[in-house]
Chain A
Amino acid sequence: MRTLAISKRIGKELLRDKRTMALVLLAPILIMWLMSVIFSANSETSATIGTVGVSSSITKKLDKVDNVTVKRYQTKSRAKKALKHYHLDAVIIKTGSNKYHLYYANIDYAKTALTKQGFQQALSKQQIAQIKSKITNLSKAINQINQTLPAGHKLQIKKSKSSSKTKITNTYEYGNKDTGFFNKIAPIFIGFFIFFFVFLISGIGLLNERSSGTLERVLATPVRRSEIVAGYMISYGVLAIIQTLIIVATSVWLLDIEIVGSLWLILLIAIVLSAVALSLGIFISTFASSEFQMVQFVPIVLMPQIFFSGIVPLDALPSWCTPLSQIMPLTYAARAMEDVTLKGAGFNEIAGNLGILLIFLAIFTVLNVVGLKQYRKV
Chain B
Amino acid sequence: MLIDLENVNKSFDKQKVLNNINLTIDAGQIIGLIGPSGAGKTTLIKTALGMEKADSGVTEVMGTPMPNRKILGKIGYMAQSDALYDNLTAKENLEFFGQLKGLKKQEIASEITRVAGITALTAHLNKRVSLFSGGMKRRLSLALALLGQPKLLVLDEPTVGIDPALRKTIWEELKKLRDKGCGILVTTHVMDEAEQVDQVVMLMGTIIAQDSPAKLKEKYQVKSIEEVFLQAESEVLNNENAGN
Contacts and interface: CB of A to CB of B under 8 A. Distances in A.
B84 A376 contact: no
A218 interface: yes
A222 B83 contact: no
A222 B85 contact: no
B53 interface: yes
Interface in A167-221: 212-214, 216-221
Nearest to A222: B73
Question: Counting chain A CB atoms within 10 Å of each CB, which of B50, B73, B85, B102 scores highest?
Answer: B85
B92 A12 contact: yes
Contacts of B144: 217
A16 B71 CA distance: 34
A208 to B, nearest CB: 9
Contacts of B100: 2, 5-6, 218, 221-223
Interface in A1-18: 1-2, 5-6, 9, 12-13, 16-17
Contact of A9 (B73, B81, B88): B88
B233 to A, nearest CB: 29
With a 10 A CB-CB cut-off, give which of B82, B86, B96 has the most chain A CB atoms. B96
A376 B67 contact: yes
Nearest to B70: A222
B229 interface: no
Nearest to B154: A220
Nearest to A4: B99
Interface string B61-93: 000000111111101010101111111100010
Interface size class, chain A:
20 to 34
A220 B51 contact: yes
Given A222-B69, A222-B70, A377-B67, A13 B85 contact: yes
A378 interface: yes
A39 interface: no
B101 interface: yes
Contact of B72 (A6, A17, A222): A222
Q: Which of B49, B73, B100 has the most CB of A within 10 A?
A: B100
Contacts of A214: 83-85
A224 interface: yes
A213 to B, nearest CB: 3
A375 interface: yes
A143 B227 CA distance: 136
Interface string A354-378: 0000000000000000000001111
A375 B83 contact: no
Given A212-B83, A224-B69, A377-B67, A219 B51 contact: yes
B51 A216 contact: yes
Contacts of B51: 216, 219-220, 375-377
B97 interface: yes
Contacts of A378: 50, 67-69
B76 to A, nearest CB: 10
A213 B69 contact: no
B87 A220 contact: no
B73 to A, nearest CB: 4
Nearest to A376: B51
Given A9-B88, A221-B72, A222-B72, A213 B81 contact: yes
A128 B239 CA distance: 113
B79 A213 contact: yes
Contacts of B49: 220
B83 A377 contact: no
A221 B101 contact: yes
A12 B87 contact: yes
A221 B72 CA distance: 5
Contacts of A219: 51
Given A12-B92, A221-B97, A378-B50, A216 B83 contact: yes
Contact of A220 (B72, B84, B88, B96): B72
Contacts of A217: 79, 83, 97, 144
Contact of B79 (A9, A216, A376): A216
Interface string B90-113: 001000110111100000000000
Most buried by B among A17, A213, A375, A378: A378
A378 B50 CA distance: 8
Contacts of A1: 99, 102
Given A220-B49, A221-B72, A222-B100, A9 B85 contact: yes
A219 B70 CA distance: 11
Interface string A300-312: 0000000000000
Nearest to B128: A16
B35 to A, nearest CB: 22
Given A13-B88, A220-B77, A376 B70 contact: no
B26 to A, nearest CB: 22
A216 B156 CA distance: 14
A12 B87 CA distance: 8
Nearest to B96: A9
Nearest to B102: A222
A167 to B, nearest CB: 66
6 contacts: A5-B100, A9-B85, A12-B92, A16-B87, A212-B84, A217-B97
Given A13-B87, A222-B69, A378-B67, 7 more contacts: A12-B92, A213-B83, A214-B83, A220-B49, A220-B72, A377-B50, A378-B68
Interface of B: 49-51, 53, 67-73, 75, 77, 79, 81-88, 92, 96-97, 99-102, 144
Going nearest first, the 4 A-B pairs with the smallest beta carbon separation are A213-B83, A5-B99, A217-B83, A222-B73
